Structure 1
Amino acid sequence: MMWALVLLPLLGAALSWLVPDNRRRVWVLPVFSLAQLGVSAALLVNTPPPSPAGWIWLDPLGKLVLMANSVLFTVCSLYAVGYLSYRLKRPNRVLCASLLVCLAATSLVVISQHLGLLWIALEATTLTMAPLIYFNHNARSIEATWKYLLICSVGIAIALLGLFFLAYSTIVAKQEVSLLLPSLIRDAAALHPGWRHAAFIFLLVGFGSKMGLAPLHTWKPDAYGEAPGLVGALLAGGLVNCALLALLRVYQVAAASSEGALFQQVLLAMGLVSMAFAAVFMARQSDFKRMLAYSSVEHVGIIAVALGLGKGALFAGLLHMINNSLTKGVLFLSCGNIHRAFNSKSTQFVRGALRRTPWSAALFLAAFLAITGSPPFAPFVSEFLIVSSAFGQGNHWTGALFLLFLALIFIGMASTVLPVVLGEVPPDLERTRYRDAAPTVLPPLALMGLVLVLGVWIPTPLQDLLHEAARLLGGEA
């Protein structure tokens, strides 16, 4: 049944490629994404045992990523029906097929217990996202696509070298030669320390570039700024989760060896650096879609800080992964609506969105408050737990810097968002044909509802799953 997570989207991709009509083709997306969501829910409730060779299994960490990605992709596929109705003049065959192949690849990342197979699946997500970023077919989008492919491919190649080093460390240590996660965790302490250390460095750099940790984030502003809103949502809320899961697999091995503390310290430093980069580059940002790219850099930094702190912060970091995924979906889908309504993403022209697109502007404003850690939304809960853990562990400098960067980012983001939403519409601005409508408003509204619910109540099954996943990383229950 776990293979259905991969095979169903691939079947949908083949079908979407064969459907000749632009209008009908888009309906393949929600049909197969809902089917995949149903399979995901069934697997979360009744998880089958590992495959005979141990390559395929859905552990608690995989369940969290599967849950977040399946919900986000389903919402984005429903949104795509309304979005593509405004883009009928542009062929969408490649877009629809690539989206579904990407869903299959992300699902394979989630269920892979072999680091080599996980690497292949992660590389597949890189390749399938490229044509999605290039969907607008202009000079800026092709530049963004090449930058994305170049930097992410170099990063994933560095990660491959890390896997080679990790495998070689088992040979030198005369252990079982395997990249299966359970074997690596069992033998982690006995692996050759030199090759193991080199492997961890290369894997952190490689998967960190895919996540967009600073200073490895340089592909994000262009890719997020030029991709359609629904593609930006999947990049920031879905692909980041897959890269994070790959990093968490390495974290598991590091925690089982003698280098767990060093790995945590490096993650803590990279997390704070990412938050600092976001605070600097978000100030006075004139392109509100690029601003969301720096917000993504901030939040992968927040998760890295939680991983670096360890212990109780691991629960909060995993919760923040889910919260960030859902909130980024609202931000990118609503800002995509505003972009179409004004035919611009520059704050010089986009003003007074509440007057032209009241629903989308209200969602954009609410999601801005959520993503910056304002109560009663879900990111406030996870960020509060992370900073509480920092001070509780006596790591006062980390807690103080964390709060400082959050304050600076709030101010920088507000200086862009508030004029866009609350300002006056420029009188000479051309009026486009886009209007807020149910197909493009209800999907982000549903996500915003989830963000609000998780801010006031975390269901017990989700809490239990988060605790199980944190224990896999060595966290406290």
Structure 2
Amino acid sequence: MLLLVLVPLALAAVAFALPAGRRRPRVLLAGAIVHAAGVAALWVLRPAPALGGWLAVDAAGLLALTTASAVFLVCAVYVQGYLAAHPERDDRVFVSSLLVLLAAMTAVSLAQHLGLLWVVIEVTTLSTAPLIYFKHDARSLEATWKYLMVCSIGIALALLGTFLLAVASAGPGGPRSLLVADLVAAAPALSRPWVRGAFVFLLAGYGTKMGLAPFHAWKPDAYGEAPGVLGALLSGGVTNLAFLALVRVLTVCHAAGEGAFARGALLGVGLLSMAVAAIFIVGQRDVKRLLAYSSVEHMGILALGVGLGGAASSGAFFHMVNNGLTKGVLFLTAGNIQRAFGSKHVDHLRGAARLLPLSGPLFLAGFLAVTGSPPFSPFFSEFAILSGALQDGRFLVSAAYLLLLAVIFVAMGVTVLRVVQGDPGDVEVRPEFRDAALTAGPPLALMLVVLALGLFVPRGLLALFDAAAAAVGGRS
């Protein structure tokens, strides 16, 4: 487990020190391959906790880590072609920051101490800021500062919530520890008012990092100005890991008898996020901002799923994986379309399927998948959440959920079909901006995985969804 964190950090130092820029993308790819192999080993070996229990593998963490590693590996392949098309840009900071981000995401997935968890989530913020500023223009600078300011306020709230949870554990019989296992074991001795207060601040703090409404102000600008690679990693990695942090806290709240309060708050924030996303998706003219609001929607679906509890919780963890993989497809293909047309505004985009015979159809397929169309896997995870809500008699919640999904499907469809269909006209594209194996192949690989998970889910994966759900009071 330590090597999964330390190897990317070491390779980040190597990439930063290399004088030849053409070698740095290869270092990134090597790090991604080694990391993916290490994550695969965790599925087989399941090592004992390390560093006194501060690092450990559990069901929810393994799901989030596997998704992040898979998306990172695909992005590392994509970067080989992406940077080759931008030889004028210095990739020293770009590649190094990506490797630091990989190490930080790994540490978040494995962290079982809430203090360590807070620190490494802050590292994800600091390592992604230079990536948002990759274009070095005024808009990307504004987006970077907004991202840093809003997420820093959020992480400060999360720190206060962590302090309050420490107070809750400091009474007689309390564990005087911030290890999740210790807090759960001594849950009856925790001060319940302090646990409630802690959850409120932690929901606001980590909810900001997730991009839940009303804490989502950074997301449209950051996703809109960042390279497609970073959009894929934010959606498939960083925001999922912020959700994982909330799951860790929810586990403690459930054990302490405050599960109903915490789930009620998540349910409300989840529906609010879907509603806000629907409002801003309607008539959206910027393709990347459209995907940003789609991410707000799906973070809301995750919060809604664990907020409902019961069988819906298992569907939420399935959806965490599906959304992360599907967003990888959408952001990488959106990046290809933006470079081909020289714009990300709908008024300047038409006929992407003709101009980019792989990226255009993949963008359309990604839209169908992310909006819950069968046979893609997000349909089944969204249906599992709906089924769980109906089983528990949450008919009004189910109706609101279906209505918001329908509005978003129609609104996104209007924009996506306008981009993909039609005649591109006299758009001239340089050869390096047409579809190539290194830029169209990676999103195609992710799309095939999304389709495969819609047709068949291995039993081992289903067992992990159920185990992750059981930790927060859910059931299969």
TM (norm. structure 1) is 0.98
On the 8 A contact 2:111/2:117 being kept in 1, the answer is yes
Number of the residue aligned with 1:369: 368
On the 8 A contact 1:165/1:198 being kept in 2, the answer is yes
Number of the residue aligned with 2:224: 225
How far has the Cα of 1:14 moved from its partner?
1.0
Q: Which amino acid aligns with 1:3?
A: L
Number of the residue aligned with 2:235: 236
Number of the residue aligned with 1:359: 358
Take 1:288 and 1:124, find their aligned partners in 2: how far apart are those partners?
A: 28
On the 8 A contact 2:192/2:256 being kept in 1, the answer is no
Secondary structure of 2:112's aligned partner:
coil
Q: Which amino acid aligns with 2:429?
A: R
Take 1:307 and 1:455, find their aligned partners in 2: how far apart are those partners?
A: 21
Residues 327-342 of structure 1 correspond to what in structure 2 (within 5 A)?
327-342=326-341
| Residues 210-267 of structure 1 deviation map (CA, whole Å, 9 limit, x = unaligned) | 0000011110000000000001100111101110110000010011112110111110
Secondary structure of 1:20's aligned partner:
coil
Residues 65-464 of structure 1 correspond to what in structure 2 (within 5 A)?
65-173=64-172, 175-427=174-426, 429-433=427-431, 434-464=433-463
Take 1:96 and 1:260, find their aligned partners in 2: how far apart are those partners?
A: 41
Q: Which amino acid aligns with 1:415?
A: V
Take 1:298 and 1:256, find their aligned partners in 2: how far apart are those partners?
A: 28
How far has the Cα of 1:54 moved from its partner?
1.4
Q: Which amino acid aligns with 1:444?
A: P
Secondary structure of 2:416's aligned partner:
helix
**RMSD in angstroms over aligned alpha carbons?**
1.0
Query: Which has the higher mean CA deviation after the structures are superposed, 194-203 or 123-132?
Result: 194-203
Take 2:192 and 2:110, find their aligned partners in 1: how far apart are those partners?
A: 29
Take 1:176 and 1:360, find their aligned partners in 2: how far apart are those partners?
A: 53
Query: Which has the higher mean CA deviation after the structures are superposed, 460-469 or 100-109?
Result: 460-469
| Residues 430-458 of structure 1 deviation map (CA, whole Å, 9 limit, x = unaligned) | 53441101010111000000000000100
Take 1:134 and 1:303, find their aligned partners in 2: how far apart are those partners?
A: 29
Number of the residue aligned with 2:44: 45
Secondary structure of 2:54's aligned partner:
coil
Take 1:351 and 1:173, find their aligned partners in 2: how far apart are those partners?
A: 66
Take 2:469 and 2:36, find their aligned partners in 1: how far apart are those partners?
A: 24
How far has the Cα of 1:419 moved from its partner?
0.6
How far has the Cα of 1:89 moved from its partner?
0.4
Q: Which amino acid aligns with 1:451?
A: V
Q: Which amino acid aligns with 2:191?
A: H
Query: Which has the higher mean CA deviation after the structures are superposed, 412-421 or 170-179?
Result: 170-179
| Residues 318-367 of structure 1 deviation map (CA, whole Å, 9 limit, x = unaligned) | 00000000000000000100000001001111111112111100100000
On the 8 A contact 2:316/2:385 being kept in 1, the answer is yes
How far has the Cα of 1:193 moved from its partner?
2.3
On the 8 A contact 2:171/2:189 being kept in 1, the answer is no
Take 2:412 and 2:425, find their aligned partners in 1: how far apart are those partners?
A: 21
Take 1:171 and 1:472, find their aligned partners in 2: how far apart are those partners?
A: 23
Q: Which amino acid aligns with 2:234?
A: L
How far has the Cα of 1:310 moved from its partner?
0.3
Take 2:395 and 2:300, find their aligned partners in 1: how far apart are those partners?
A: 18
How far has the Cα of 1:44 moved from its partner?
1.4
How far has the Cα of 1:174 moved from its partner?
5.0
On the 8 A contact 2:173/2:189 being kept in 1, the answer is no
Give the gaps of 5 or more residues in structure 2. Answer: none
How far has the Cα of 1:61 moved from its partner?
1.2
TM (norm. structure 2) is 0.98
% identical equivalent positions: 53
Take 1:273 and 1:52, find their aligned partners in 2: how far apart are those partners?
A: 39
> Structure 1 residues 221, 52: CA separation in 2 closer, same or farther (over 3 Å shift)?
closer
- How many residues align? The count is 475
Take 1:18 and 1:140, find their aligned partners in 2: how far apart are those partners?
A: 29
Secondary structure of 2:291's aligned partner:
helix
| Residues 62-81 of structure 1 deviation map (CA, whole Å, 9 limit, x = unaligned) | 11111111111000001000
Take 1:464 and 1:193, find their aligned partners in 2: how far apart are those partners?
A: 31
Take 2:3 and 2:51, find their aligned partners in 1: how far apart are those partners?
A: 17
Take 2:349 and 2:14, find their aligned partners in 1: how far apart are those partners?
A: 39
Query: Which has the higher mean CA deviation after the structures are superposed, 52-61 or 29-38?
Result: 52-61
